Structure 1
């Protein structure tokens, strides 16, 4: 299975350099990934690097804690769109959710969605901070706010995506929104498991290749080990031709 069109290829670490952003965009183009996901300060340069390609630009908003004022999230989202963002990934206000201040959670998401219009909005829940009931309630609020995706994690908390959480989200939202599994997904086999569980997009900072390429890499490693083993066996089987000098 070619999963390139599922991949949101991310570089979100605070120390990310312009050189690394250039490399990110190069890899995304080479592998035909769906999008690159960057902090809002890098949206403009990322858009320039991906001009005349099909790779979209996704900007995170309120990242990674989601605890800033709603107006700040709205402003950042609008600015990201002005600079060329095609999608927005915002972080939910976890404190409001845990306080059961559901009206504020809804307003936080709704105001961002209203500000960006038809632009796809992914809402990050940070599932490692939530119990099952909180995940379900957050999903219901996201649907009420017309979010397009539910995203599992930022990758900056104590845990990332889990198959259990993706299944809970899928059961809750059914086909009324999509799912982005993100955090700790680093290889093809793991990505496939999340897609099979219901994920529509995979967020990762790892260069995940398609099935064919992954098999090629594994086969190459196996072949190298085979050659090394044969070489060692051959070397050990060679006779010792060292001629000892006769004692005088």
Structure 2
């Protein structure tokens, strides 16, 4: 198994979140992109403002690493027009994967049609431009019933609006890695949540993100059936080390 091809190596902190300067943030991102190139990870996942830099570095290195970015991150509560505009800019800048945060709070309030429209139209934009689309549902903000319902909504919206040969390009993703939980509970991909997602998202693939920090955890997720793993610990995973990174 080439575990590297499951790994979306991830750095999504702003300068403020990392308590560093903007200049230092650029350098951290450069290092992350170069690491993805050196290790030949499947993808480097970065914030939208970094996509152009990543595209240039990967092109100059003649690398096959792909580029992912997050849309309406980390809360997912902006309007459809915002999501579409941010996604289009990311596409124009060279992103290959678009990881949208679904409006899970709207879903929890029963605004089902709003969520369906966002999923349908944002997915269409991505697929029309030959991009992979991932929908982050934020499992730590949901109970089991809500995870089931939101996975089912995304699955049914995709099945209703797109062709079967496009299903593999639309993922359901567990977490942003930034959700603040109480009592230090997990905020990302737990085995329990991933099993629920796999059962209720099929035939769409699942991406486990948040909290996968070593080789054993990554292998466990792959054996469950996930097709991608989003992690800031990609280097540690392939080197068989434990990481204390938060995402």
- What TM-score comes out, normalization by structure 2 length? 0.82
Partner of 2:161: none
Provide, for residues 130-182 of structure 1, a one-character-per-residue CA deviation record: whole Å limited to 9, x for no partner: 111111111112113327100000000121111111111111123x1111000
For the pair 1:98 / 2:108, whether they are aligned, the reply is yes
Partner of 1:18: 26
Cα distance, 1:81 vs structure 2: 0.3
Partner of 1:244: none
Q: Which has the larger radius of gyration?
A: 1
SS in 2 for 1:50: helix
Quick one: structure 1 residues 163 and 73, their matched pair in 2 at CA, closer, same or farther if it must change by over 3 Å? same
Q: How does 1:142-221 map to 2 (within 5 A)?
A: 142-146=154-158, 148-157=170-179, 158=181, 159-174=187-202, 176-209=203-236, 213-214=239-240
Distance 1:210 1:161 in 2: 16
Stretches of structure 2 that go unaligned for 5 or more consecutive residues are 19-24, 159-166, 182-186, 243-247
For the pair 1:115 / 2:125, whether they are aligned, the reply is yes
Provide, for residues 30-71 of structure 1, a one-character-per-residue CA deviation record: whole Å limited to 9, x for no partner: 111000011111111111111121100001000000011111
Distance 2:227 2:104 in 1: 23
Partner of 2:53: 45
Is contact 2:11–2:32 with CA below 8 Å preserved after alignment?
A: yes
Cα distance, 1:210 vs structure 2: 6.0
Distance 1:208 1:28 in 2: 8
Partner of 2:75: 65
RMSD: 1.6
Distance 1:177 1:207 in 2: 24
Q: 2:92 aligns with which of 73, 82, 86?
A: 82
Q: 2:44 aligns with which of 36, 40, 56?
A: 36
Distance 2:28 2:10 in 1: 11
Partner of 2:152: 140
Cα distance, 1:127 vs structure 2: 0.2
Cα distance, 1:82 vs structure 2: 0.2
Partner of 2:6: 6
Cα distance, 1:209 vs structure 2: 4.8
Partner of 2:184: none
Stretches of structure 1 that go unaligned for 5 or more consecutive residues are 219-248
Distance 1:120 1:210 in 2: 24
